[in-house]
């Protein structure tokens, strides 16, 4: 296969419509939780990727309530399968990983 690595500001990056959807969205940015969630919203809402691994930095005070907007948003999206895990090696972030089904994909019966 081939790999295209796009190195740009992840918060302000606009995806070229010719490249949609990408196979993988990988993100590990040192930005506030809310800014990271804001960046992710159009990626999920427009299904710009097939798979994703995103590290989300947590605030030091009240880290878990900061994730509620992301969890509510993800729960509202059909055909987005994800897990959100606090990995042992880094207690100040969580890792969001999963995949997005195309809207026209049929489920098995």
Catalytic residue positions?
A: 57
For residue 37, the SS3 value is: helix
Q: What are phi and psi of 95, to 5 degrees?
A: -110, 125
Q: Is the dihedral of CA 57, 36, 84, 68 positive or negative?
A: positive
99 vs 8: CA distance, rounded Å: 23
Q: Which residue in this structure is represented by tokens 């959807």?
A: 21
């Amino acid at each position: 296969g081939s790999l295209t690595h796009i190195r740009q500001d992840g918060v302000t990056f606009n995806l070229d419509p010719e490249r949609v959807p990408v196979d993988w969205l990988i993100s590990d940015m040192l930005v506030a939780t809310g800014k990271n969630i804001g960046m992710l919203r159009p990626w999920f809402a427009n299904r710009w990727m097939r798979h994703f691994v995103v590290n989300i930095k947590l605030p030091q005070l009240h880290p878990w309530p900061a994730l509620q907007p992301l969890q509510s948003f993800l729960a509202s999206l059909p055909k987005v399968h994800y897990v959100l895990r606090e990995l042992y090696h880094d207690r100040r972030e969580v890792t969001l990983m999963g995949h997005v089904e195309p809207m026209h994909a049929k489920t098995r019966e």
